[in-house]
Chains A and B, each alone.
Chain A
């Protein structure tokens, strides 16, 4: 394997216009992500921490093209994917996936688990028959620790931790290489949180996945990440290995973060 990083972000900027009045005139902008650059190596986990509202989710969503970057470049295996049209980007939707923070709202309440996870297969493997799809979904559920009898249930019949597993199964369905995990464990209790983190690590080992792991719990980030980025007000203020961040924080904000961690 060459040294090209799986993901490379250069000078990424995402600004949101502030509009006002009836005519929706632009009266300013929110600089959600302001000139950010970083790399993620294949098979590694990069943790992204920072204050609420500092632009973490926005970076994640820009990577999977849920929002258009205002400026800057994103490379996937060395290929620029920033300005691709929706159609050109389609093959990348199979390689880049996302897991959301909120297990209650990330599954469509009106669809069964089989349909939710199967949707990904329908889109990217259109030649699969219904039966093949079902058995593939069952495999995926098994992979995240759920049972085949869960296939025909609806999301409200599951606990938060189980729903998060379903969300992970959906992301895995397209056999991605890279997953943006946007605070996947924040809403879960400590025990379930541990299970999900362990599951993500097992899957990484088994499938060679690469993660961008967004979180605000430093302990969890330190546990799962190889490398940590610290964000503040749309900029990356510190980038170092997990260990270094913890032992020798350089930036003021990072130090503040560490200080604020409540002690048990």
Chain B
């Protein structure tokens, strides 16, 4: 492993809005992702996971967002201070995204072939047989009869298929860092497993690093090397996956893991996090 990590985030702070009613979405977080490493980011809804992910290549609309402090070093270069021209080639080619909302991230007026082909042409101009590459990409994410599906528009696909098209598009660029924001929410476990295997394979072959945002602890256990737990804009716990899952230190992490429903252990009610309780625990 090399000395400088691929990605290093230092004291990153992001606000929405100004003055009194500003939301402090991210409050000074630091973490690193090494070459070829998979880091999972977990945490409740609204804890700042997506905001952190989008900020890596400055995709947040400013305003309302504001980068209040910190730096994001990708290969040693601070993306927060790069110009638009320097940043653009980085998006897609170096850092590719799978966005959280598949339905709204695909363009409704183009076929899926067109959209994936565009990504390939843009980032891998050396590919000759673009159509074949598109078919291969769709096949890799488990879409049946990919040739027949090329001409489909996004609304003709099921939710899970749209999500897989997004994944195919991001992976077709062979990025250095893949930022996957809840990539498998609409997928059943078998496809989920297939996607995770695919990620693992690409990671091995291309040396890709992955930042994986998810609610699914099964996936975390399956693929992540390290876990970062976010709570209200802070990182409250960080460590090796096995350590964090088996022996969570922070009360919030413990509560979160407790909520996971398990097969074959039928309870009358599912456990949910009681926020008052966490709050009480957090008070010294």
**Residues of chain A having any CB pair with chain B under 8 Å:** 16, 18, 20, 28, 30, 49-53, 57-58, 101-102, 104-105, 159-161, 183, 186-195, 197-198, 201, 216-220, 222-223, 246-247, 256-258, 260-264
Contact: B148 with A18, CB < 8 Å? yes
Residues of B within 8 A of A104 (CB): 101, 104
The count of residues in chain B whose C-beta lies closer than 8 Å to any C-beta of chain A is 53
Contact: B218 with A198, CB < 8 Å? no
Contact: B161 with A53, CB < 8 Å? yes
Contact: B190 with A260, CB < 8 Å? yes
Q: Which one of B144, B164, B255, B273 has the greatest number of beta carbons of chain A within 10 Å?
A: B273
**Residues of chain B having any CB pair with chain A under 8 Å:** 43-46, 101, 103-104, 143-144, 148, 151, 156-161, 163-164, 182, 185-193, 215-219, 221-222, 245, 255-257, 259-264, 266-267, 269-273
Contact: A50 with B218, CB < 8 Å? no
Distance between Cα atoms of A217 and B261 in the complex (Å): 10
Query: Which of A50, A101, A247 meets B186, CB within 8 Å?
Result: A101
Contact: A191 with B190, CB < 8 Å? no
Query: Which of B103, B185, B221, B270 meets A105, CB within 8 Å?
Result: B103
Provide 10 A-B residue pairs closer than 8 Å at the C-beta atoms, listed in order of the A residue: A187-B185, A188-B215, A191-B259, A191-B273, A192-B44, A194-B261, A222-B266, A260-B189, A260-B190, A264-B262
Distance between Cα atoms of A58 and B158 in the complex (Å): 9
CB nearest neighbor in A for B160 = A52
| Apart from A57-B158, A201-B269, A216-B160: 19 A-B pairs, beta carbons within 8 A | A16-B156, A49-B188, A58-B158, A159-B45, A186-B186, A187-B186, A188-B215, A189-B215, A190-B259, A191-B259, A192-B44, A192-B45, A194-B270, A194-B272, A197-B270, A216-B189, A223-B261, A260-B189, A262-B218
Whether A188 contacts B266 in the complex (CB less than 8 A), given A102-B159, A195-B272, A262-B189, comes out as no
Measured CB to CB, the closest approach of chain A to B148, in angstroms, equals 7
Whether A191 contacts B188 in the complex (CB less than 8 A), given A18-B148, A223-B267, comes out as no
Distance between Cα atoms of A223 and B268 in the complex (Å): 8
Contact: A52 with B159, CB < 8 Å? yes
Whether A261 contacts B259 in the complex (CB less than 8 A), given A28-B148, A198-B270, A223-B267, comes out as no
